[in-house]
Amino acid sequence: MKIQNYINGEWKEPSTGQFAPVINPATGETIAEVAMSGPNDIDEAVQAAKEAQKQWALVPAPKRAEILYKVGMLLKERKEQLARMLTMEMGKVIEEARGEVQEGIDMAFYMAGEGRRLFGDTTPSELKDKFAMSVRTPVGVVGIITPWNFPIAIATWKSFPAIVAGNAVVWKPAPETPIMAQELARIFEEAGLPPGVFHVVHGDGPTVGNALVEHPDVKVISFTGSNEVGRMIAEKCGRLLKKVSLEMGGKNAVIVMDDADLTLAVDGIIWSAFGTSGQRCTACSRVIVHERVKQELERRLLEAVKTLKIGNGLDETVKVGPVIHEEALQKIDRYVRIGVEEGAKLLVGGYILREGDYARGFYYAPTIFTDVTPNMRIAREEIFGPVVSIISVRSLDEAIAVNNSVDYGLSSAIFTRDVNNVFRAMRDLDTGIVYVNAGTTGAEIHLPFGGTKGTGNGHRDSGVAALDVFTEWRSIYVDFSGKLQRAQIDTDD
């Protein structure tokens, strides 16, 4: 199967004529070939988007929303089919893949509702016979760049609010996971979205991503990916005075206090640390535990890890699938070696799985370190794999300080029965998302998603806040007095 670009309502070969293999990370098999495009393909998509957006913006927002309702229904009808495709190209277990498709369904219905809201403000004027209001307006052509770990969910977080607000979208998905992009484009087409409003251009970041970022007719870039790439995008957009939204990962921690329900805490840690094989920006990679319960928590975590079945995510009994590719596998293993060299104690895991059914895929054993100190690299840097570090503390104040000591600020969690501890944590943890008696994952689409510090630049995906990225505010004044009235000057008349 050759996966082409989707430009102006047509499936097109890349101008380069080049394709790259798409690998099933569970088996190492090539399941498709994806277009590796060039700047000319981006330019063609942007020019078509620019023309289509002019007419799309004139369609009443409730009518634009009807397309998203249809998209949501098509996603719902094809949920199982899409989930299986997702597992094959990305590797996450089928249960999680179904959950990811559900995020897209939820986002479609939620953002379709915004078609009858897109609220502005009406306010009194300081002058007689004058009306004042503000309204949202579309920005024009939007560029979105998404990662491989959530190949359909993150795309819907970005494209759905952009489209309902009256913009046209040019999307560069990750080349590792192009099948979901192809399927979403087909669904938009079937739902009746006019040609030119939604485009998919495949390729690598340095070539296609860079061309999208630097194109003068692209007014907004919404990016999810690494901090390193996000910083480069921010620099380019800053020079171009282009709006940019960044979501760049995390170093998320679960705090376990001495009064916590340890059974619940273990469930939350295991799910947060090893779900999606640790390849989530919200994955738990640190456990900050009160010293009084550290030993017992470790014992229970070891027992829980032993029950995790590792393998092909299409097997309903598997709980941990492969990582995305060999490069990721080697990066994770390097960090494990760094942890050992730094003096952390390896409790379980710490090796690549190469034997038997694992031979052709990219599998890493779920790994837990203990006796980790906050200044160790494994406690500060994003590993993006099934590796978690246990850090011992003596108090809630120390736990919060350790949580806040890293460069990221996406998600955090606390397990405690003390309501005072809960409210102090809610106030003092410096992350964009805080969970109480739950792990660090599980965001819902109607709340803002994003973080602080090195995680992002202040914008949010999901929720009503997502509309702020893809709209401009226009303030409107209507003076029906029949005479010149000067604000701040003629207010006493």
Q: What is the pLDDT of residues 395-425, one digit of tens each?
A: 999 999 999 999 999 999 999 999 999 999 9
Q: How confident is the model at residue 491 (pLDDT cuts 50, 70, 90)?
A: confident
Q: What is the mean pLDDT of residues 312-329?
A: 98
| CB crowding 437-448: b at 16 or more within 10 Å, else e | ebbbbbbebeeb
Q: What is the mean pLDDT of residues 143-164?
A: 98
Mean pLDDT of the chain: 97
pLDDT in tens, 106-121: 999 999 999 999 999 9
- Three-point CA angle 440, 446, 447, nearest 5°: 50
What percent of the chain shows pLDDT beyond 70? 100
pLDDT in tens, 164-219: 999 999 999 999 999 999 999 999 999 999 999 999 999 999 999 999 999 999 99
Q: What is the mean pLDDT of residues 22-49?
A: 98
Phi and psi torsions of 208, nearest 5°: -80, -45
Beta bridge mates, 253? 286, 412
The set of residues, in sequence order, having a beta carbon less than 8 Å from that of 231 and lying 6+ positions away, is none
pLDDT at 493: 64
Residue 68 · residue 111 · CB < 8 Å: yes
Residue 136 · residue 472 · CB < 8 Å: yes
- The catalytic residue among 44, 214, 247, 298 is 247
The pLDDT of residue 470 is above 70: yes
Q: How confident is the model at residue 369 (pLDDT cuts 50, 70, 90)?
A: very high
Phi and psi torsions of 284, nearest 5°: -75, 115
pLDDT at 492: 78
Is there a catalytic annotation at residue 247? Answer: yes
Q: What is the mean pLDDT of residues 42-57?
A: 98
Task: For the chain, list the domains and their CATH numbers.
Answer: 2-248+456-476 (3.40.605.10), 253-436 (3.40.309.10)
**197, burial (CB in 10 Å: exposed 0-12, middle 13-18, buried 19+):** buried
pLDDT at 307: 97
> Measured on CA atoms in the order 420, 424, 429, 430, is the torsion positive or negative?
positive
pLDDT at 249: 87
A 10 A CB-CB count for 36 gives 18
| CA–CA gap between residue 14 and residue 200 (Å, rounded) | 11
| CA–CA gap between residue 123 and residue 133 (Å, rounded) | 6
Tell me the CA distances in angstroms from 192 to 71, 195, 358, one per residue in order: 9, 9, 43
pLDDT in tens, 243-288: 999 999 899 999 999 999 999 999 999 999 999 999 999 999 999 9
Does the pTM of the predicted model rise above 0.85? yes
- Neighbouring C-alpha atoms within 13 Å toward the C-beta of 192: 10
Tell me the two tokens of residue 153: 């969910």
Residue 34 · residue 12 · CB < 8 Å: no
